[in-house]
Amino acid sequence: MPGICDGRVVIVTGAGRGIGAEHAMEFARQGARVVVNDLGGAPDGSGSDPTPAEEVVERIRALGGEAIANGEDVTDFAAAQRLVAVAIDAFGRLDTVVNNAGVLRDRMFVNMSPQEWDDSIRVNLRGHFCVSRHAAAYWRDKAKAGTPVAARIVNTSSGAGLMGNVGQANYGAAKAAVAALTIIQATELGRYGVTANAIAPSARTRLTEAVFADMMASVHDGFDAMAPENIAPLVVWLGSDESADVTGRVFEVEGGKISVADGWQHGPPTDLGRRWDPTEVGEAVAELIEKAPLPAPVYGTV
């Protein structure tokens, strides 16, 4: 199955259903050999079930592609190491990691439990760290041994992380951290031939259907902008050789629309050249806010 990822080996986490499954399928269509990682289980992230990942593998093989299923828990550091090793053992190499696995534990901040906070950070942020950390070590060792590396990390942020979303303080905090993680990975790992980018997708999944039922409703005629397969083309391109000159970027993607998110920038300063007196600060801040662009509104507030 020749394509822009011909010969590459790709791990996609959370690939048993939804957006992740579509990533895996499109990578296979574009010639990649795919490790379909998924714990399975319920929409809230509880339990485990190998069936979804195995079904995606069967679909890929029916297309003539190569894939294997994997049920490691990406939040477990040792398990993530085994996941990377499985890809290398099965296919002889690893070229791309797509960190897609995620969970929701939505709650208004004043009612949020420590467990809901920890669950979100563990899956949505720690899971990105564990898999990427072991992949990065593999690529670094190859680069130091003199082997050319053209590796890719594609992380999954969210509009909730970029703009904020009411009822998602835990999820938004994790996804904002993913965006920061991405630009740091890009800076640190570029010397080894690794790029790192992130997406903030909007599409119909088991997670979003429960939160945004009206927005995510299926359409029967015309282009279905919320279909999960719409996200895959950008991710596959970012995971290919063709994206070598793009790194440290966060892309918003919805339907047929792609944009580059513009993150934190240094705003207009004021400098007294001496220590501020607290009574002087209020007027100065008011002037700075007057000069600064308005922030994007938090989702759920307009």
> Which strands form 33-37's sheet, in the order they lie side by side?
66-70, 33-37, 9-12, 96-98, 151-156, 194-202, 250-254, 257-260
What positions carry a catalytic annotation? 158, 171, 175
- Among 103, 15, 13, 100, which residue's Cα sits nearest to residue 52? 15
d(Cα 191, Cα 109) in Å, to the nearest integer? 40
Please give the Cα distance from 118 to 137 (Å, whole number): 26
**Beta strand pairing call for 96-98 and 66-70:** unpaired
| Closest CA relative to residue 202, chosen from 126, 152, 269, 257 | 257
Tokens of 18: 């939804």
Looking at the DSSP bridge assignments, the partners of residue 250 are 198
